[in-house]
Amino acid sequence: MSEDTGFQPQSGAGAQPPGPGRTPPAGGQPHHFRRMIPIWLALALACDLIWWFVVGPHVPPGDMSTSAVGAQFDFNVLFLAAAPVVLAVWVYLAYAVWTWRASRADAPEPVGGPAARSNFKVQFWWIAITTVVVLAAFVFGTVELIVPAGAGGAEGPNPIWKPTAKHMLVVQVIAQQWKFTYRYPSYGGMQTNTLVLPNNTWIAFHVTSLDVIHSFWAYQIGVKVDANPQLDDVAYTKTRQTGTFTVRCSELCGIWHGAMFDYGKVLSKSAFDHWATTTEKKQAVNTKYLPPFAWTYSPTANGATGATGVNTSGQSPFSPEQHYGATPARKLVRSSLTSTATPTTGT
């Protein structure tokens, strides 16, 4: 009745299985894998090469900032590792379905017994290889997290890796249902409806919220930070190219969550300076009504409701239809770039 004790010595990891448990099935193993491996290698190589040289450079979020480049690079590296794994399983499954189907006329009878129940070598190498791959992915991910200072992700109020740049533009992102506004403390604390950034500059985003949790997602510049009420959440990136990018809310924040988006711009440094100084002057009349610049704002500072932060009355601070309804997206960008900011306090 050795079948009954099949589990005990043979399959134990580390134990040297006696006799039959170790012997590979006669004739079979190398034969099948000699057919599978070339197919797999060819497919994996083709897939990886096509990805790296053809698809990879176009993978979102693109290359408008250091964190975007980092995210794209990471995605592509993970893809290079993942594609061979996926293909290995698929090639094996396809080969198995084709070769070992019962409907085949010359299908041999399968062999049970201890050899079919466990194989120390196969199990050991499976576990070893997956462990190495996983640990490599972890080390890679951690390094990538440090190298571009947080990779554009949320660092909380106390970032542990800061960029070493001397000149860093601080931009405060204030989220509320259902729009983002932006404050520039270095330009008199002015507030705008559109995010404008200078090129080739480290930006420190300080993200906070006036009501519920939002998420500030500047897509093409590879930044995503949750906006929490009463919390200053920080992320860094360095812009690399001029152009337009999309800002979306990516944390469900109520019924108009889908309409909570706008477009930002990266301008050349001189164009940004010009824009910032003129806007600061133009905004001065509004800025004096704003609460003084702070890392977070109490909801009562939100002059739109004037009441407690919890929306008990059912009135929303903004009419989203008015802002987003039928306005074509492109027109919205142009008009809001030149429009004046909404004062957010009534005191």
Partner 1 sequence: MSVDVTPAVGVGEVQPPASGLLSRRPAWLSQNLVTALILMVAGYAFGHWIGNVISSGRVWVTTAAENDAAIVLGLLFGVVGWLLGIGALNYPLAKLIGRDTVPQERTDWTKYFRFSLTHKVVGKQYLIMVLLFFFTGGLLAMAIRTELLTPTTHIIGPGTYISIVGEHGTIMMMMASSLVVGPLGNYLIPLMIGSRRMAFPRIEAASFWLFTAGYFVILTALPLGGFPTGWTGYAPLQNQAGVGMDSYLVGFLVISLGMILAGFNQIATIINYRAPGLTWGRMSIFVWSVLITSVLLATASPTLTIACVAGLLDRTVPTAFFLNVHGGSSYLWQNLFWFFGHPEVYIMALPGFGIVAELLPVFCRKPLFAYRVGAAGLVGVGLLSYFVWQHHLFQSGINPDMRPLFMLTTELISIPTGFVFLIGLGTIYKSKMRFEVPMLFCLAFYFNFLIGGITGVFLSDVPVNVTLHGGFFVLSHFHYTILGGLVFAFFGGVYYWTPKVLGKTLNKRLGQIHFWMMFVFFNLTFFPLFLVGLFDQPRRVFEYAVRLQTLNDFASVSAYLLGASFVVFVVNFVWSIWIDPKTAPANPWDSNGLEWQTESPPPWYNFERIPVVLADPYHYSEPVPVPVADLAPDNFAEAAGNGVAAAAMAGAGTGGASSGGSSAGTQDGSD
- As a whole number of Å, the end-to-end CA separation of the chain is 88
CB of 249 to partner 1, least distance (A): 7
117: contact with partner 1 by CB under 8 A: yes
Q: Which is nearer to partner 1, 213 or 271 (CB)?
A: 213
Torsion sign, CA atoms 165, 170, 176, 180: negative
Which member of 15, 16, 18, 28 binds partner 1 (CB under 8 A)? 28
The CA distance from 76 to 52, in Å, is 7
* Angle formed by the axes of helices 120-146 and 66-99, nearest 10°: 160
Residue corresponding to tokens 């998420």: 215
DSSP one-letter code for 152:
G
In the bound state with partner 1, the residue whose beta carbon lies nearer, of 192 and 228, is 228
Which C-beta is closer to partner 1: that of 67 or that of 344? Answer: 67
Residue of 41, 43, 52, 156 interacting with partner 1 (CB under 8 A): 156
Burial 272-288 (b: 16+ CB within 10 A, else e): beebbeebbeebeeebe
Q: Say if CB 145 and CB 179 are below 8 A apart.
A: no
Q: Which amino acid is at 29?
A: Q
Among 93, 284, 285, 307, binds partner 1 (CB under 8 A): 93
Residue 131 contacts partner 1 per CB under 8 A:
yes
13 binds partner 1 (CB under 8 A): yes
Choose, by CB under 8 A, the member of 150, 188, 189, 264 that binds partner 1: 150
CB-wise, 226 or 262, nearer to partner 1? Answer: 226
Residue of the chain from 9, 22, 32, 56 that contacts partner 1 (CB under 8 A) = 32
Does the protein bind partner 1 through residue 223 (CB under 8 A)? yes
Stretch that binds partner 1, among 44-52, 113-121, 184-192, 271-279 (CB under 8 A): 113-121
Cβ 234 to partner 1, closest distance in Å? 8
Question: Tokens 């924040």 appear where?
Answer: 253
Give the shortest CB-27-to-partner 1 separation in angstroms: 10
Choose between 102 and 338: whose C-beta lies nearer to partner 1: 102
Tell me the window of 41-49, 118-126, 272-280, 330-338 that interacts with partner 1 (CB under 8 A): 118-126
CA 122 to chain centre: 35
Binding map of partner 1 across residues 170-209, x = CB under 8 A, - = no contact: ----------------------------------------
Site membership for partner 1, residue 24 (CB under 8 A): no
Name the segment binding partner 1 (CB under 8 A); options: 97-105, 183-191, 197-205, 339-347: 97-105
Query: Rule CB under 8 A: is residue 137 a binding residue for partner 1?
Result: yes
Find out whether 175 and 257 touch, Cβ atoms under 8 Å. no
Pair type for strands 223-227 and 196-198: unpaired
Dihedral sign of CA atoms 83, 86, 91, 94 in order: negative
Residue 268 sits in the site that holds partner 1 (CB under 8 A): no
Q: Are 238 and 66 in contact (CB under 8 A)?
A: yes
Please choose, out of 44-52, 122-130, 182-190, 271-279, the segment that lies near partner 1 by the rule CB under 8 A.
122-130
- Contact (CB, 8 A) for 216 and 182: no
Q: How far is the C-alpha of 228 from the C-alpha of 31, rounded, in Å?
A: 59
